[in-house]
Structure 1
Amino acid sequence: MRKIVIGLGGVYGKAPPSSAFPTLRRLFTNEGYLSKLQKAGALPILLPVVPNTDIAQLVGMCDGILLPGGSDIDPSLYQADRHPLCGPSDLDVDRYQIELFKSAREQQKPVLGICRGAQLINVAQGGTLFQDCSLQSEKPLTHPDYERWGSVSHQITVSPSSMLFGILKTPTLGVNSLHHQSVATLGADCIATAFSCDGSIEAVEIGSGAWTVGVQWHPEAMGSEMDCLFDAFLSQVRRPLS
């Protein structure tokens, strides 16, 4: 029995000063994603940034797609001017991961978005973002809270009618917080399914097509209480495995 293959959308990072190739970007991912996926029984693979013409084939090699965290999404992709509080972005990565998402939807592959990945799902569906949480609320929670990157930063409430509630089995949940942007206007078919007390949307899902869930926190950096999210993701793979 072969393992379920989950493709992780790679992100670019600058080469360190010690690199022999200082002008060439590096493709990377957080090992927390790999650990959680492997624990759930998957074989994770890192997907490189490739031309659009090859993305469908790349997605076709996978049983599901994970869209990870990373830098801010370029505001031009949701028809907004860049605010001074918006951080650096990479249009190459943004466009590539949006095409990954669209191809996964077309091929009926389940998608899990984490932090930036949740925001990207919303943008790909035509939604917008708050470029900083201070633009959403006069009294925002501490976003990001780097001191508690692997533990609970604040509580969220989960909609009882959501797929997320069916996974987590609780109306309230403690999560970490490593983001400074958040979902503003919801994209087509996107449903907000969890909120923090300052009004930030903490999770989105799409009500049609293949299973698609995005969470604003980083479950891969937390304990075993978050394993159920990765287990649920893998359980949605529909293609018979042999």
Structure 2
Amino acid sequence: MSRPIIAIGGTYGQAPPTSAFPTLRRIFTNEGYVSKLEQSGASVILIPNTETNIDTLISLCDGLLLPGGPDIEPSLYHQERHPSCGKSDVESDTFQIALYHAAKKLEKPIMGICRGCQLINVAEGGTLFQDYMMRENHLIDHPDLAHFDKVSHLVTIQENTRLASILGSGEVGVNSLHHQCIDVLAPDFQCMARSNDGCIEAIECTTGHWVLAVQWHPESMDEGMLPLFKAFIEEARKRLSPV
């Protein structure tokens, strides 16, 4: 069986001082995304930050994953920067937003994880809380870095959502590596899961496009989260040309 090709949007990171090129940035992704995608039946490529040929690059792939990363530039959702907002890289933000729109235009399935979930919401006209503590209710510790690969808290998955068809409705345990979260949900999207203090933890597109995003990091958890990746890969496989 052919393996669909999943593109991961690259993120800029500064090279360490010990590098031969300490003043240059690196384009990277975490190995957890690659290993879970490959385990689920995909081949993976990393798309570097570029301003050219984005449509061509996306056309070579069968799906797009938007990964975690730094805070999103607040001006992209029409807000002034709050002191609680972390450092942003507007080049990575605008590049990954362009990737998202190119993939959606070509009807490629799209999965967002953590920052990727927030980025999709911003790309579609939604807004973010620049820090979780800015919410009226903030009963859960975000981020919970000590449990990066374990359950930190529960979320409740709504019935009759794509996420419920994958993981089942009701409560499921997730990790938490974010300090920002969705405030105003984008038009044409719905919430699929919330934490017990009301924070939006998963969203999906309601216009027929296969766009699914979660606020937690399933690539860092055990195989209980593998169905998320397998559902994504199965959708990408439908886009493969018959051999």
Q: Which is worse superposed, 130-139 or 62-71?
A: 130-139
Letter in 2 for 1:104: A
SS of 1:239's equivalent in the other structure is coil
User: Partners of 2:151 and 2:222 in 1: how far apart?
Assistant: 10
User: Partners of 1:201 and 1:139 in 2: how far apart?
Assistant: 12
SS of 1:174's equivalent in the other structure is strand
TM-score by length of 1: 0.97
Question: CA shift at 1:54, angstroms?
Answer: 1.0
Letter in 1 for 2:18: S
Alignment of 1:11-90 (within 5 A): 11-51=11-51, 53-90=52-89
User: Partners of 2:68 and 2:240 in 1: how far apart?
Assistant: 29
Alignment of 1:89-238 (within 5 A): 89-237=88-236, 238=238
User: Partners of 1:33 and 1:139 in 2: how far apart?
Assistant: 28
Moved >4 Å (runs of 4+): none
Deviation per CA, 1:13-35: give whole Å up to 9, x if none.
00001011111100110100011
C-alpha contact 2:137 2:198 (8 A) present in aligned 1: no
In structure 1, runs of 5+ residues without a counterpart are none
SS of 1:236's equivalent in the other structure is helix
User: Partners of 1:208 and 1:94 in 2: how far apart?
Assistant: 24
Question: CA shift at 1:138, angstroms?
Answer: 4.5
C-alpha contact 2:62 2:240 (8 A) present in aligned 1: no
Question: CA shift at 1:231, angstroms?
Answer: 0.5
C-alpha contact 2:155 2:196 (8 A) present in aligned 1: yes
User: Partners of 1:173 and 1:213 in 2: how far apart?
Assistant: 17
C-alpha contact 1:137 1:199 (8 A) present in aligned 2: no
Letter in 2 for 1:97: Q
Question: CA shift at 1:101, angstroms?
Answer: 0.4
User: Partners of 2:64 and 2:197 in 1: how far apart?
Assistant: 30
